[in-house]
Structure 1
Amino acid sequence: MTSKQVGATKMPRQNKEHHLSGNMGVTELVMSVLAFSSPLTVAAGFIPVLLMFSGPSAPGIYIVLTIMLLIFSVGFVKMSRTVENPGGFYAFVTAGLGKPAGLGGAFLALFGYVFIGFFAPPLFGITLQGFVVNTLNGPEIPWYWYGLGIVMVTTTLAYRRIDLSAKVLTTVMLLESAMVVIFNIFSFATSGGRVEQGIGFSMPWITDAGLGIALLFAVGNYFGFEATVIYRDEVKNPTKTIPRATYIAVIGVGLFYAVAAWAYIAYFGADNVQTVAEGNTVNMFFDASTALVGKIFAELTTVLLLTSILASMLSIQNVAARYSFSLATDRVLPSALGRVHPRLKSPYVSSLAIGTLWGVATIIFPALGVAPEVLYPIASGSGSFAVLLLMFITSLAVFVYFLRRRRVHPESIWQTLVAPMVSFLFLGFITYLSIQNYPDLIAGSPVMAAIFLTLTFALFLGGIAHALILRSRRPAVYALIGRQNAEISEPLPEVL
C-alpha cells in the first residue's frame, strides 16, 4: 500500500438536495447533548437509584466515569478529525472494522436511540397525569393521550431546521439546570449545622458491594455526548466545534451530576443517604426539595421535569433521525428516509417516521394492557445497552484504524493507541456488567432479558450479514456503506 493510497480520498459528495444544514455553535451543541440525559430527570430519578446502590460513593463514581469517558473522547475526537463524516459511530466503525461491522453498528445505533427515546411517552404521560389529578385536581385522562401529545410536539420540532431544536433545548436546559443548582445550594447550606452526620463523599473501590450495578446505571447518564459528530453538517466550523463540545459535554455532565449526588449526601448525611434512598427512591428529590425550598418549588420542579422529558426526547429523536438519514442516503434503508426538506434543510421524513413509530407504539402497548411503569424501563434499558455495546465496538474500531494506519501515518501513541485501548477495556468491563445485570437494567424477568439481549446481538450480526449480501448482490450499494458525504483519509482494506 502506498502513502498516496492512504492519503485523503474524496468520495462523491451529496447534492445540495441531500445535504443537511444548520448553524449551531459550541453552546447549542453542548446543550443538545446535555438535553439527551435530561439533567432534572437524572437528578430526581436516577441519582436516588445510584445512591441506593452506592451510598456516599455516588459522586466518586461520576468522577471515575468522567475520567474514563474523557479518555474515550481522546480517540473519538481524533477520529472525528480524520473521518470527516456525519455518520457518527456508523462511519467510525466502518472506517476501523470494515463495512459489514459498520452496518451492524448502524443497526445498533438506530435501534438503541429509537428505544431509548420511547422511555419518554409513558414517563411523561404518567407524570403529567399525576400532576393534573393530584396537584391541579383535574380530570383523570389516560396517560397515552399525554404520550401522544409529547410525540406530536417533538416530531414537529424535529421536522424543522436543527437551529430551532437547539434554541428550545438551550432554554429548557438552562431552566432545569437552575432548579438542580438551587437544590444543591440549599442542600449544602442546610448541612452546615449537621456536620456531625458527615457531608463528605468517598471514592468507590473495586470491592464495594453494588459497584457494578452502580457503574452500569451511572454510565447511561453520559449517553448523548457521542452524538456531537452526527451534527457535523449542521454546526459552524465543525473541526473546532465538535472537539470542544465533546470535551465540554463530558466534563460538564460529570461535574454536574457529581455535585448533585454530593448535595444529596450533604442534606441527608453520608451515614444516612443510602438508607433513605432505599426507602424512598421515587420521592427522595421532591421530599427534600419541599423541605429545603418549599412546596411551590417542588411543584415548579415537577413542571420543569415534564419539559425536561420533552427536551430529552427531542434530542434523542434528532440523533435517531440522522442515523436513519445516513442509512437511507447510503441506500441501505428506503431512499425516502434520506430526503432533506428543501427549505428547512432537515431530515424531515426520517423525523416523521420515528415520530410515527413512537406514536403507534404509544397506542398499541396500552391496547395490549402493558402498564407505562413497565414500558419506560424496558425501552430505556434495552436501548442504553445497544448504545453501550456500540461504544465498546467503536473504541475497538478506533484502535484498529489507527494501528493499521501507523505504517504510513505515525501519530501520537496516546491519542491513537493508548487512549482507545484503555477505553476499550473499560467499556468492555461495563458491557460485561450490563450482560450480567440485564434483568435489573430493564426491570424485567430473566426470560425478557434473554429475549432483548438476543435481539440486540442479532441486530449487530444481522447488519454484518446484510452487508455481506449487499457485497455479492448489490456492490454499488455496498460501496456506499459508511461513506455518505465523506472525505476521509482511509481506503484501508476490509477487516470483514
Structure 2
Amino acid sequence: MRTSKPDTVSAVLARGRLGIPSVVFFVIAAAAPLTVVAGGATTGYAVTGVVGIPVSYLVVAAILALFAVGYVAMSRRIVNAGAFYTYVTHGLGKPAGVATAFVALLAYNAMQIGLYGGFGAVLAQFLQDRYGWNTTWWLCALAAWAAVTVLGLLRIDLNGKVLAVVLVAECAVAVVFDVVMVSNPAASVSFDTLAPSHIFAAGIGAALVTAITGFVGFEGTVVFSEETKDPRRTVPRATYIAVTIIGLLYGLSAWAMSVATGPDNIVDAARTDGTDLIFNLVSPHLGSSIVTVGRVLFITSLFAALLAFHHTVARYLFALGRERVLPAWLGRTSRRTGAPKAGSIVQSVIAVAVLIGYAVASADPIVHLFFWITVTGGLGVLILMTVTSAAVVGFFARTPHRDGLWRSAIAPLAAAGALAAILVVTIQEFDVLLGVAATSPLRWWFPAAYGIAAVLGAVWAVILRATRPDVFTAIGLGADSATAPVRTPDATRQPA
C-alpha cells in the first residue's frame, strides 16, 4: 500500500506572482506599523517605565539587520516556504528542524490568533464611540475571521494589493502624526529619548523585548520565496527594506510622542491615555476627520497583520505537509489560485475554535487574548531567530561557498549572541511583560509551551527516522520532496 502524498502540481506554490514591493507589503503589514506606533510604543513606555523606547527600536533594528545578513545568505541557496524550519534542518539537522517547525507553528498561530482579540475590542469600541452601536468584541473578531478566511484562499498577489493600500495609508498617517507632534513640542524639541546612554539604563532589557515584538513579521520574506519572481534577488532586498522602514518609523514615532509630551512626562502620559495617546496628542492640531481616519487605519492595521500572519501559518503547514512531516493533504494547493488551500483552512479552523473558547469563557480580549498571546508569539519568533542564526553558521561550516566570513560566520554569530541575550532577559522578565506577579506560574507556563513543542517535534523526527525513513530523508527538500519516491512499508522495513 502506497503512502498518499500531494502530486507535483498541487504541491508547488504559484510561482512568479510576487515582486519586491509585494513581499515588502506582506512583511511590513505583518509587523503592523500603526498598531505598533499607537499601541506597542505606548505600551512600552507604560509597562517598562523606560524613556529610552525610541533608541531601543533603533538598537533592535540594527540587531535584526545583522541577523538578516546570514538569513538572506541562506535564502540565496535554499528557496523554501518553510523558512526557519528549512534553514535549521540544513544547518543543525533534521530533528532540530522539525522541532523548529513545531515552535514556528505555535508562535505564528499565537501571533495571528492573538491579534483577533485586539481587532475585535478596538473595532467594537470604535463602533460604540462613533455610531453608538453596542456590539461585542467576539462578533467583530468573527467578522474579521470570515474575511481573512476568504482572502486566504485567493491568489497571493491579490492579497498583496489589499495589503499595499492599507499599508501605504497607515504609514502616511503615522508620518503625518509624527510631523504634527514634533511641530508642537511640550517645551522644545528634545532628543533625550534617543540618547545612546539609555542602552545601559536600568530596565532596558524589558524595553528591548517590547521593541523586538514590534518587528515580528519582517522575517517572513523567506516564507514567500517560492512565490516570488526572482527569490535570490527579491528576498534579500525585501528583507533589508522592511527592517529599515520599520526601524526608522518606530524610532521616529516613539521619539515624536516624547517630544509632544516632554521626555519627563511620556511615561505618565502613556499610562494615563494608553493607546489613545497618539490620537489625543494630535487632535488639537488636526481636524477631527483626519484623526478619525487615523483610528480607522489603526483598525485596518490590525486586520492587515491578521491576514499576513494567516498566510505565514498556512505556508508553514503547507511546507510540512508537502514533505509529509504532517499529513500529506496539508501540502496541496488550489489549482485555481495556487494558494495553500488546506493549510489556510486548518489555520482558520484553529483560530475560530480559540475565538469561540474565549467568548464562552468571557475572557478579556485585550489582556488575555491580544496582549498575553501576542507577547508569547513574539517570544517564539525570538527563539526561532536565535536558533536560525546558529543554523546559518552550521550550514556554511559544512557547505562549500564564496560568501565570505562576514556573511557565513561573523554576522550570524554576532546576531545569535545578541538575540540570545535578549531572549534570556525576555524569559527573566516575562512576568513584567504579562503584567502578573513574579510568583505567578503563568510567567513559566507560556515560555514552557515552546519547550514542549520543540521536544515533541524532535521526538516526532526520531520516530519518522525509525518508521518512515523515506519521509525523514525528504525533510528540508521543499518542492523536491514532491517528486521523491514513496516507499511501501515492506520496502522501508530494515532486516532483523
Q: Under a length normalisation based on structure 2, what TM-score does the superposition of the two structures give? A: 0.91
Secondary structure of the residue aligned to 2:250 is helix
Secondary structure of the residue aligned to 2:202 is coil
How far the C-alpha of 1:391 sits from its partner, in A, is 0.8
Partner of 2:52: 57
* Cα separation, partners in 2 of 1:391 and 1:221, compared to 1, 3 Å: same
Query: Paired residues, what number?
Result: 472
Runs of at least 5 residues in structure 2 that lack an aligned partner in the other structure? 482-496
Distance in 1 between the 2:193 and 2:418 partners? 27
Secondary structure of the residue aligned to 1:283 is helix
**Contact conserved, 2:111 with 2:374, CA < 8 A, in 1?**
yes
Map residues 267-286 of structure 1 onto 2, 5 A cutoff.
Answer: 267-286=260-279
1:43 aligns with 2:37: yes
Distance in 1 between the 2:199 and 2:226 partners? 42
* Residues 110-155 of structure 1 deviation map (CA, whole Å, 9 limit, x = unaligned): 11101111122221111111111122112x2222111111011011
Secondary structure of the residue aligned to 2:196 is coil
How far the C-alpha of 1:82 sits from its partner, in A, is 1.9
**Contact conserved, 1:379 with 1:442, CA < 8 A, in 2?**
no
Q: Which moved more, 1:210-219 or 1:351-360?
A: 351-360
Q: Under a length normalisation based on structure 1, what TM-score does the superposition of the two structures give? A: 0.91
Distance in 2 between the 1:164 and 1:280 partners? 37
How far the C-alpha of 1:299 sits from its partner, in A, is 2.1
1:85 aligns with 2:80: yes
**Contact conserved, 2:390 with 2:412, CA < 8 A, in 1?**
yes
User: Structure 2: which amino acid aligns with 1:439?
Assistant: D
Distance in 2 between the 1:202 and 1:333 partners? 49
How far the C-alpha of 1:404 sits from its partner, in A, is 2.7
| Match 2:450 to one of 440, 456, 467 | 456
* Cα separation, partners in 2 of 1:444 and 1:473, compared to 1, 3 Å: farther
How far the C-alpha of 1:480 sits from its partner, in A, is 1.6
How far the C-alpha of 1:410 sits from its partner, in A, is 5.7
Distance in 1 between the 2:150 and 2:189 partners? 52
* Cα separation, partners in 2 of 1:198 and 1:253, compared to 1, 3 Å: closer
Partner of 1:370: 363
Partner of 1:126: 121
**Contact conserved, 1:58 with 1:261, CA < 8 A, in 2?**
yes
How far the C-alpha of 1:444 sits from its partner, in A, is 4.4
How far the C-alpha of 1:199 sits from its partner, in A, is 6.8
Partner of 1:430: 422
User: Structure 2: which amino acid aligns with 1:158?
Assistant: G
* Residues 178-207 of structure 1 deviation map (CA, whole Å, 9 limit, x = unaligned): 11011011112223x832766763124454
* Cα separation, partners in 2 of 1:143 and 1:54, compared to 1, 3 Å: closer
* Cα separation, partners in 2 of 1:305 and 1:40, compared to 1, 3 Å: same
1:100 aligns with 2:95: yes
Distance in 2 between the 1:328 and 1:442 partners? 34
User: Structure 1: which amino acid aligns with 2:78?
Assistant: V
Distance in 1 between the 2:293 and 2:197 partners? 34
| Match 1:220 to one of 213, 217, 220 | 213
1:248 aligns with 2:241: yes
| Match 1:330 to one of 319, 323, 332 | 323
**Contact conserved, 1:198 with 1:271, CA < 8 A, in 2?**
no
Distance in 2 between the 1:145 and 1:277 partners? 29
Partner of 2:164: 170
User: Structure 2: which amino acid aligns with 1:402?
Assistant: F
**Contact conserved, 1:14 with 1:484, CA < 8 A, in 2?**
no
Runs of at least 5 residues in structure 1 that lack an aligned partner in the other structure? 1-11, 488-496
Distance in 2 between the 1:331 and 1:442 partners? 36
Distance in 1 between the 2:69 and 2:370 partners? 33
Distance in 2 between the 1:97 and 1:243 partners? 22
* Cα separation, partners in 2 of 1:183 and 1:100, compared to 1, 3 Å: same
Partner of 2:314: 321
Partner of 1:394: 388
Partner of 1:413: 405
* Residues 274-311 of structure 1 deviation map (CA, whole Å, 9 limit, x = unaligned): 33223333321121121232433222222111111110
1:383 aligns with 2:377: yes
Partner of 1:9: none
* Cα separation, partners in 2 of 1:432 and 1:119, compared to 1, 3 Å: same
Partner of 2:286: 293
* Cα separation, partners in 2 of 1:436 and 1:486, compared to 1, 3 Å: farther
Distance in 1 between the 2:433 and 2:68 partners? 25
RMSD (Å) for aligned C-alpha atoms: 2.0
Distance in 1 between the 2:200 and 2:246 partners? 26
Secondary structure of the residue aligned to 1:83 is coil
Partner of 1:180: 174
User: Structure 1: which amino acid aligns with 2:42?
Assistant: P
| Match 1:339 to one of 332, 335, 346 | 332
* Residues 47-96 of structure 1 deviation map (CA, whole Å, 9 limit, x = unaligned): 11223336542221122111111111110011111223332011100000
* Cα separation, partners in 2 of 1:414 and 1:150, compared to 1, 3 Å: same
User: Structure 1: which amino acid aligns with 2:234?
Assistant: T
Distance in 1 between the 2:197 and 2:82 partners? 36
1:480 aligns with 2:474: yes
| Match 2:107 to one of 106, 112, 120 | 112
